[in-house]
Amino acid sequence: MSHQYATLEDTVYFFFVSNDTSGSGADGTTPLFDIRLGGATASDAAILSGTPDLLTNAGYGPGAYEVAIAATASNGFAADNTYGVFVTATVDSQTPGAALGSFTLTSIADAVWDEAMIQTTGAPTVTGTFRSAIEWVFALSRNKMTQNSTTSTLRNDADDGDLATSTISDSSGTATRGEWST
C-alpha cells in the first residue's frame, strides 16, 4: 500500500489489477472506488465514489485500472487531511475489495509559501517564474551592492561572486540605471 502527498485541487492517481487468473482472466465488471476521510466515524459515507478507468492498451494485462481522484474542495476534500482509497471489481462472480493506499492533502498556500528559497543566479528573464522573481527581489534587498561611476554590481550571499551588473550614467542631471544583466 502506498501513501502520497498532494496539494488540494490536484488529481491523485492510484492503479490496480483485478482478475481471477484461475478463471476467465477477464477485465471484470462494475469496478468502483471509494475515498474515505481518515479518522472519520465508521458510519461516515465516502467523500467521493466513482468508476476507475480500464487501461485498454495491449501492453496492459486484463483488469488493469487507473483511479484518478480529483481532490478538489468542490468534491468535498480539504487540506491537512488524510484519505484512504478503496476499490472493488466483480470478476468471475467474485467481488474482492482492496485498500490501494492513502494520500494527504496540503493547501496550495502551504505548497507555495513553505517552499525553501534558493539563492538566485542572476536577474530573471521577463518570462521567468514567480519564484525566480521573488528570489531576485530578496537578493536585491538583502545582498551587498557596490557601485562606481559606471556600474552597479549585486553580490551573492557569500560576497564571493557577482550575481548581476547594471550600467550607471548621468546626462545633464538625469541619472540612469540600466537593466540588470548576468
Q: What is the pLDDT of residues 33-53, one digit of tens each?
A: 999 999 999 999 999 999 999
pLDDT at 117: 80
In this prediction, residues 142-149 reach a mean pLDDT of 93
pLDDT at 172: 87
User: Do the beta carbons of residue 77 and residue 85 sit within 8 Å?
Assistant: no
Q: Are residues 45 and 63 in the same domain?
A: yes
Percent of the chain residues past pLDDT 90, beyond the cut: 62
Q: Mean pLDDT in the chain? A: 90
The count of other CB atoms within 10 Å of the CB of residue 149 is 7
If residue 133 lies in a helix (H) or strand (E), which one and from where to where?
helix 130-142
Question: How crowded is the C-beta side of 69, counted as CA atoms within 13 Å?
Answer: 33
pLDDT at 111: 64
pLDDT at 15: 95
Q: Are residues 66 and 156 in the same domain?
A: no
* Sign, Cα dihedral of 68, 71, 77, 82: positive
Residue 58 lies in a domain: yes
DSSP 88: E
Domain containing 34 — which CATH number?
2.60.40
Question: Any idea which of 11-25, 40-54, 64-78, 138-152 has the lowest mean pLDDT?
Answer: 11-25
User: Do the beta carbons of residue 110 and residue 10 sit within 8 Å?
Assistant: no
Name the residue among 32, 33, 28 with its Cα closest to residue 90: 28
pLDDT at 27: 76
Name the residue among 45, 48, 107, 40 with its Cα closest to residue 80: 107
Which one of 67, 89, 111 terminates a domain? 111
User: Do the beta carbons of residue 143 and residue 155 sit within 8 Å?
Assistant: yes
Q: Are residues 153 and 173 in the same domain?
A: yes
pLDDT at 71: 97
Q: Are residues 86 and 137 in the same domain?
A: no
CA distance 73 to 114: 21
Tell me the pLDDT band of 90, cut-offs 50, 70 and 90: confident
In this prediction, residues 150-155 reach a mean pLDDT of 94
Domain hosting residue 92, numbered range: 2-111
CB within 8 Å of 104: residues ≥ 6 apart: 3, 4, 5, 6, 80, 81, 82, 83
Tell me the pLDDT band of 24, cut-offs 50, 70 and 90: low
pLDDT at 25: 67
Residue 130 has pLDDT above 90, yes or no: no
Residue 63 has pLDDT above 90, yes or no: no
Which one of 69, 95, 111 terminates a domain? 111
pLDDT at 109: 72
Residue 12 lies in a domain: yes
